[in-house]
Structure 1
Amino acid sequence: MKILFVENRYKTGLWEVIAKEYEKEGHEIFWIVQNPIFKPSFKNVTVLPFPKKKRLEKIYTPEIQKIINGNRGMNYFGIQSDNFIFWYEKEIEKALDVIMPDLAFGEATLFHELLVINACKRRSILYLNPSTTRYPNNRFSFYLYDTQVPYKGSKDLLSNDMALKTVEAIQARQALPDYMTVLRYKLTGLDWLKDKLRLSLSYYLGERYNTPSPFVKRKINSHYAKNVLRWEEIAVDTTKIKKGFHVLYAMQMQPEANIDVWGYPNNNQTQVIQR
């Protein structure tokens, strides 16, 4: 069987471990890589070239429009033109026509993954997005394409008693999804520095579509820190709020696939609040 993996920055390391196991079982392993800094050590790797300045044919299908509207580079990192979307779309189409995998694994977060998903759908290639489930803990599902629809499953059934206990634990904030639990391994200062240097190198080598400029990133972080301080001031001293009727609307941090991908077309939280 031909199995395709799609690079997703640090998640690529996990994909590599899994891919090596499949390779031992005799499967052919292929890769599509958008960020060459995270290129895996495999034989069949297609590194997508960075966009060149050339006139491109743009066809705004509903699928492409959804990717553009939810793109973090254009929404948050200051990218002005959507040309890169159409460039990568053509390169991915070419790569898939050569590879023609039987199965594809990847996330459904970054724009190039979503383009691979669209291309797989058109070719009837199964694309699975492995991710932890929210409840109960310590489980994961293979989700179909860019949806939250599980592919097959364990067929396990929760008893009514266990289901009620799970609901009560959620209500009492005693149960948290796996992705919200505190990691046992914490980055050291050296790890943090290596990470920043790696991403900065990636940016200056040409990967500017999933990686923001260090200056843009600093600006975003500074803006976020000021908002947190402002909120803390208001939370402890309500006299700092102007008198009147107030509504508290809990927002989610973005960019985040939960909002950008699955929340479309309501992925602009500010507009939702205004409506």
Structure 2
Amino acid sequence: MDLPRTPSFRLDGRRALVTGASSGIGLGCAAALAEAGAQVVLAARGRDRLDAVAGALAGAGHSVEACTLDITDPDAIEACVDGLGPLDILVNSAGLARHAPALDATVADFDAVMDGNVRGAFFLTRAVARGLAAAGKAGSLINISSQMGHVGGIDRSVYCATKHAVEGFTKAMAIEWGPLGIRVNTICPTFIRTPLAAVTLEDPEKRAWVEARIKLGRVGEIEDVMGAVTFLASDASAMITGSALMIDGGWTAE
């Protein structure tokens, strides 16, 4: 009897671009893909921190290079992706948040968050997909979204709007590019202990609000995302596209 075998989670021989790789979830995703054997291109705006991360990963024996990139600049996106050649994996983790009550949200903050979280993510995902299509290659494109792409949150009307938009264009792209073998998915974390979440988690009242809604009773750690990104990048998820992988401790289960 021939038993089925689990597809490999290994990523040897594949090239991955990870944006927002200088800290937080992006750094964790870069480390996870490198551990699985991928050659990882780290991208972020701040060169010093980026070089430090690249040095640490290289020192651990991983194949890595660094690329300075502002994802709000479509021309810079095209130049970066064209220069790298066709990629096998994209992890779109760059983004920002400017939380405020909806009545107090400014046009400047709205535009800044939309530019980074939606426009930048859209055009970067498209640029990588174009390279894959031109080369006739399959690939896995992963957008780091949020549980807030599925629910609402206090002081997060603008942020929620951007993450709902990411969920929407991810599904549409998955439909269009499925015949090309290009998969597009999102990862939707809850509050993860990162610099981006620090302001919320350091406020006792807000942290209590967060922990009361996470059924597992704790905020997330970067490591909680690392297995998920390896899974979606690998052949183990070959039949998954247009989906959102929730890493929210049960927040959205209600």
Higher Rg of the two aligned structures = 1
Whose RCO is larger (CA < 8 A, sep 6+)? 2
| Shared fold (TM-score, shorter chain, > 0.5) | no
Higher helix share: 2
Scaled by the length of structure 2, the TM-score of the pair is: 0.36
Scaled by the length of structure 1, the TM-score of the pair is: 0.33
